[in-house]
Structures are given as structure tokens and as C-alpha cells.
Structure 1
Amino acid sequence: MCTLTYIPIGSEDFYFTTNRDESPLREALFPKIYQIDSGEVLFPKDKLAEGTWMMCHEKGFSSCLLNGAFEKHEHKPPYRISRGVMVLEYGNYSSVKDFISNFSFNNIEPFTFIVLNYVNERVLEEVRWDGVSVHYRKLDTAKSYIWSSSTLYNKGARSMRQKWFDDWLTKTTVFSKETILNFHTQTGKDDPINGIVMNRKEKVKTLCVTQIRKEENVLQMSYYDFEMKKLTDYPFK
């Protein structure tokens, strides 16, 4: 929920990978398939709020949440619902534009929400809520992207991480589950404050990496837990 990369492979496949930077006290349950109001979904669950930061849905889309919009905001609880619950509620809408038009953003903490649709063709869309206004972008699915949470990483840190990503893209000849997870677990490892894997005095640190990938019409989620040092694969539809 705090670092996300999107890497396209050919015209249809992709890797969609995120690091969860959170208090170690904020426990998460390993991914599993759930039946919710909008259909069957696969996601790791935030045990406290029962939402998620990343999921794939049987309707043919995956999504990821990052905390904050453009810059660090003032935390003003209580909020109407957890942003992670909003991720699950998104499945009730027919499209990103339907979501923007009809979801009540009032009293929701600022966020960045990335939706990747792959029913007929890849469509990558970004929604940012800054606490006042909604900002929308449709992105080029043929390009690779990295996002860093504005609540944890200032402008300078985000620029540095973008450079790490750009350099890695230039040097990498094969994009695979292994090479991309290596980027998400090794890059900037000597910088505990702003590295892709971070640890700020055990108060906030990278707890896991979640990856959704589509390879030759096979959709799968991988989940790496840093405490257990365990990587598990979860096939989906």
C-alpha cells in the first residue's frame, strides 16, 4: 500500500506489485478467496479494519491502494470508513468513472487508487482523493510505472525512488516474478528510511510484498511475508 509498480509484458500480460509499509502491530491475514457482495475476490486482509490494500476480482480487474494523494496530509480521524474497505466496495461499481460519480468521498482519508482492468484489453486508471477533490488519470498501459505513498515519502524521496526504478528498468533484460520481487525486496536496502524495503525504528516498516501477475491468461497472486520469510502463490481465475 506504500510502494506500487506496474510492468506490462507484451500487449496483454503484466506484473502489479506492492509493498505494504505499516506498523508491525497492524496484523494482516494471508491472501484467500472471499465471496463478497460484488463477486469472488482474492486478497490479503487487514485484520483490524477487514479491508485490503490489493485485490483481484472475478470481474476482470485488479486494484491497489496507496495512502495519501499528492503530499502528506494531516490525519483527522474519525473517518467514515477505512480506505481498505473502500477497495472492496469498488467492485459494486461498473467502472472507474461510475465510482467517481457515485461513491461518497466525504470524510474518507486521502488516497491514491490504481485500477487495472484486463477484460478485453488492459486499461490502467488512477484516482486520487486529496480530501477536497477527485483527480483522475488514464495511463498508458504500454509503459511501466512506480508510485510511492505521499504520507511516508516526500517529494525528494519519491524522485529518488523513481530514479531507482528507471535505472532498474534500463538494466533488467528479463522481467519475471523473481526479478521484480528482487527489485521490491533489495532496492535501496542500505536506506532504512526511504528504501523500497524500509524500517523506521520498528514503528513503521515493510511487512510484506503482494504481487498480481497475468501470464498467458493465467492470473496469480504471490505474497511474501518478511517476518516468516515465506513466499506463497495463490492461483485465481
Structure 2
Amino acid sequence: MEVQLVVIALGCFLASIVNAALATGGIYITLAATTAVLPVGVAIPLQTVLALPSLLGRIYLCWRGINWQIVRMFLPMAAAGSMIGAGVFVALDEGIIALSLGILLLALIWFVPQGIKLGDPRRFLMVGGLHGFFGTIFGVGLFLQPAVLRTEMTRLQITGTLAVCLLGLDIVKSAGYVSFGFDYAHYLPHIGVAIVASLAGTWVGGRIGTRIPEDKFRLVFKWLITIVGLRLVTKGAGLLFAG
């Protein structure tokens, strides 16, 4: 367990730095850390509580910039999509989840089109439903982050708005996982180290965000997630063939 705690603490620390500095992206690092030391069926439900300290920290730092109109549009449909997604999640084989998540990460990094703008907050009704459903199944959503990044909001507004939307959704996702039998109490040590590491990472990220060359970060980040995606595809295929 000691190795698990160290890897998760490091992953949450780095993820919180990325989230605080660049508004989004830390979820991929947390997923990489947790899936490296835990089964995928455990790692995905844990994302909701591992992200909690970082989300609260970002909300505190960016409170004045939150776009509440987008939040109100996003959360109701996201909650409905999440509850449906929780039922699908528990019915899937771990190999299928790992393989699908790996393919999803590779698609998000390499094939999501750029340049699409979302100026109308009402479009976040649809974004909420889709993100809630897929985010609950795979631990990472397809739609919210790209949609928010394609608005005209500033970095402060994006960071705060994303954090509130994701916090509300994570509460619903956690309830869905618990209702289908997942026991968070069994992983209290993992959650504890994540809280400490995430708070420290949020503090660091909030102070170095403007110093990070965003183009260089995105290049390194892109290849990091590519490696994680390929690893999950390999792991999922191995589990399916072994079964």
C-alpha cells in the first residue's frame, strides 16, 4: 500500500498544479497515477474524491470569475446523465473500461477539432448530459472542458466555472457509485494523502501559472496522455484476451 500512497500523492500534487495553473488537464495525471497502482474499476470512482481538494481550492481562488449561468445550465442534465452512467459503469467488464478509456484519451488528445466556439450558455444543457454520462463511466468527460475552453471567458473565469461544474457533478457521481456498492471507506488512506498533496499543489499552481509557457506545456502534456492512453489500451486488451 505504501507504493500506492506515494504514487497517488505525487499524481494529485502534479494534477493540482496543472489545474490551478492552466484551468484543466489534471484529471489525466490523476488517472495515470491511480490506474498505475489500482484496478481501473477502483481508480475511476476514486477520481471524484481525489479531485475534491483541488476543486475547492480553485473555487476559492477564482470565486469572482465564476459564470453562474453556465453552471445552472450544466448541472441538472449532468446529474441525470451521471446517474444513468453509474448503472452502465457497474455492468461493464474492467477490460472493456480500460480499453475504452485508453481509446477515449487518445481520441481526445489527437482528434478533437479545434476552433469551435460555444457562446450560448444554453448549449451547456446538452454538454452537461453528455459529460455526466461519459464522465461517470470513464472517469473523464468528453465535453465540458473543450466546451468551456471554446467560450470567450478569461482564464480566471474558465478555472472557476470548471471547478464549480465539476464539483457539483462529482458529488452526484460519488452518490451513484455508492448506490451501486462502491465503498470509499476502504480507501481512506488514499483519500487522505490526496487531500494534503492536492492542497499543496493548488497553492503552488496558483503562483506559477503565469510563468508556464503554455505551448511547451501542451506538447509535453499531449505526449504524457498518449503514453497513458496506450498503456490503458494494452492493459484492457490483455484483460479481455486473458478472460
Structure whose residues are more often strand by fraction:
1
Higher helix share: 2
Normalising by structure 2, we get a TM-score of 0.32
Identify the structure with bigger relative contact order (alpha carbons < 8 Å, sequence gap 6+). Answer: 2
- Could you state the TM-score of these two structures normalised by the residue count of structure 1? 0.33
